[in-house]
Amino acid sequence: MSLRTLLTPRPRLDHGDRIEIDGLPLRLRVHAGARRISLRLDSRERVVVATAPDRARLADAVTFARQRQAWIAAQLARLPEPIRFAPGQMIAVEGRPCRLERAAMRIRPTFKPATVDEPARLLAYGEGDVFARGVVRGLKALAQDRLVARTAVHAAALGQPLPQISITDAKARWGSCKQAHRGEPAQIRYSWRLVLAPPAVLDYVAAHECAHLIEANHGPGFWEINARLHPALKTSRAWLKTHGTSLHAAG
C-alpha cells in the first residue's frame, strides 16, 4: 500500500447514502434506537437497508452487508417484477383483475366494477407519468372509501368514535394508529396499496388498527380483540406476509 493511499481519506458515510456492493443496492440508515447493526429489505424501493445505531458505525454496517452478500442477492431475487401503471395493463384491485384504461377526456380517475362480460376497469386521463399518477389517485380514493367503511364498522363494534383516517404510501407499515389523547381524536393511517389486496385482507388491517384504539401494544388482550373483529385473522395475516411484496411492486 502506497503512502498516497494511506493519506487519502475514506469517503464519509452518512444517513441516507446509497451505495452498491458488487452491484447490489444498499441504503444506509442511522437509527438511535437500534441496538445493533441490521439488514432489512425495502421491497418498494427494491433495496436492502443497512441500519446502524449511529453514524460512526455505518462503516461496520457496510462491512456486515459485504459479509451477507449472498443473503442480499437472494432477497432481491425473490422480489416480483415491478408493474408499471400504463394503459392496457392488468393489475389486481380488491384481489381481482382490473384493466387500466386511458380516458378520452380530462376526468377524475374512475373505478368501474367488473360486469358479467368485462373485468373491473380504472380510467385515468393523460400519458406516461401523468396517467400513472392518475391511477394512483384513483386507487387512493377507492382505498379511502373501503377503509373508512370498514374502520367505521370495527370502531362501532368497540364502542369507539370513528377516528381521523388518512391514506398514505408508507414503506414499512400497512397501517398505524395513534390513540385519542387530551381531547385530540384518534388517528389511523393506512397504505393505499391495501386496496389491491382481497377485501378480507384490507378488513384484517382495519380491524388490527381499530384494536389499537383499545390496546396500544401487541399483548394477548390486543390479539383477542383483533380476532373478535376479524375471525379469519391467521389466514389474512398469512396472505399479507406471503403476498405483501407484490403490492409494493405495483406502480
Rounded to whole angstroms, the Cα distance separating 129 from 164 reads 30
Q: Indicate if 150 and 29 belong to the same structural domain.
A: no
- Quote the mean pLDDT of the chain: 93
**Number of domains the chain is built from:** 2
Q: What is the CATH number of the domain that holds 230?
A: 3.30.2010.10
Residue 10 has a pLDDT of: 57
Residue 9 has a pLDDT of: 54
User: What's at 36, amino acid-wise?
Assistant: R
DSSP per position, 111-167: EE---SSS-EEEEE-SSHHHHHHHHHHHHHHHHHHHHHHHHHHHHHHTT-PPPEEEE
Task: Say if CB 106 and CB 130 are below 8 A apart.
Answer: no
Rounded to whole angstroms, the Cα distance separating 28 from 13 reads 8
What would the grid cell of residue 128 be? 406516461
The residue among 186, 166, 184 whose CA lies nearest residue 175 is 166
In-domain check, residue 83? no
In-domain check, residue 226? yes
Q: What are the residues facing 93 on neighbouring strands?
A: 96
In angstroms, the first-to-last Cα distance of the chain is 48
- Express as a percent the part of the chain with pLDDT over 90: 82
Residue 135 has pLDDT above 70, yes or no: yes
Rounded to whole angstroms, the Cα distance separating 111 from 96 reads 13
Rounded to whole angstroms, the Cα distance separating 103 from 222 reads 45
Q: What is the mean pLDDT of residues 79-98?
A: 94
Of 27, 48, 77, which residue constitutes the final position of a domain? 77
Among the residue ranges 3-7, 99-103, 154-158, 235-239, the one predicted with the least confidence is 3-7
Residue 5 has pLDDT above 50, yes or no: no
Residue 90 has a pLDDT of: 96
Residue 251 has a pLDDT of: 86
Residue 209 has a pLDDT of: 98
| Tens-digit pLDDT profile for residues 24-81 | 999 999 999 999 999 998 887 889 999 999 999 999 999 999 999 999 999 998 888 8
| Tens-digit pLDDT profile for residues 204-229 | 999 999 999 999 999 999 999 999 99
Rounded to whole angstroms, the Cα distance separating 95 from 85 reads 17
Rounded to whole angstroms, the Cα distance separating 250 from 91 reads 8
Q: What are the residues facing 110 on neighbouring strands?
A: 123
Of 45, 77, 109, which residue constitutes the final position of a domain? 77
Q: Are strands 96-102 and 47-52 parallel, antiparallel or unpaired?
A: unpaired
The more confidently predicted of residues 217 and 172 is 217
Binning pLDDT at 50, 70 and 90, where does residue 171 land? confident
Residue 102 has a pLDDT of: 97
Q: Indicate if 138 and 21 belong to the same structural domain.
A: no
Task: Say if CB 100 and CB 91 are below 8 A apart.
Answer: yes
Q: Indicate if 71 and 94 belong to the same structural domain.
A: no
Q: Indicate if 9 and 122 belong to the same structural domain.
A: no
In-domain check, residue 84? no
Residue 201 has pLDDT above 60, yes or no: yes
Residue 3 has a pLDDT of: 47
Binning pLDDT at 50, 70 and 90, where does residue 12 land? confident
Question: Which range of residues forms the domain containing residue 212?
Answer: 90-249
For residues 97-113, one letter each, b for 16 or more C-beta atoms within 10 angstroms of the residue's C-beta and e for the rest, the string is ebbbbebeeeeebbbee
Rounded to whole angstroms, the Cα distance separating 229 from 156 reads 11
Residue with cell 460512526: 56
Q: Indicate if 150 and 67 belong to the same structural domain.
A: no
